[in-house]
Amino acid sequence: MYITCIICISEYFFKTPEDCKDGNCWQAIMQIILASAARFSVSFTFTFMSIWTTELFPTTGKSFSLIC
């Protein structure tokens, strides 16, 4: 989540200038890249946490299958 915060804060420094009407300036491209990276980071974090939590607290079905 720290990485996501840093990415979101760094988007502030890449403001799109007024003369960039078609969106092909490098600031607009950097904003798209940073927004995509932040979205990936959030998705990865919550997926990792959901997998890690289920492995941290295994269900009785998992422990039963290991015994047999």
Q: Which of 33-42, 45-54, 57-66 has the lowest mean pLDDT?
A: 57-66
Kindly state whether residue 3 falls inside one of the protein's structural domains: yes
Kindly state whether residue 4 falls inside one of the protein's structural domains: yes
Distance CA 54, CA 22 (A): 46
Q: How many domains does the chain have?
A: 1
- Does position 41 have pLDDT exceeding 60, yes or no? yes
Kindly state whether residue 63 falls inside one of the protein's structural domains: no
- Which of 68, 63, 53, 6 shows the shortest CA–CA distance to 34? 6
Kindly state whether residue 16 falls inside one of the protein's structural domains: no
Residue 65 in 3-state DSSP?
helix
More confident residue, 6 or 64: 6
Name, of 5-9, 26-30, 42-46, 51-55, the range with top average pLDDT: 42-46
Distance CA 18, CA 55 (A): 50
Residue by residue, DSSP assigns 41-61 as HHHHHHHHHHHHHHHHS--HH
User: What range defines the domain where residue 50 resides?
Assistant: 1-10+26-56
- Does position 68 have pLDDT exceeding 80, yes or no? no
Kindly state whether residue 68 falls inside one of the protein's structural domains: no
Kindly state whether residue 39 falls inside one of the protein's structural domains: yes
Instruction: Tell me the pLDDT tens digit for each residue of 2-28.
Output: 888 888 788 777 777 778 777 688 888
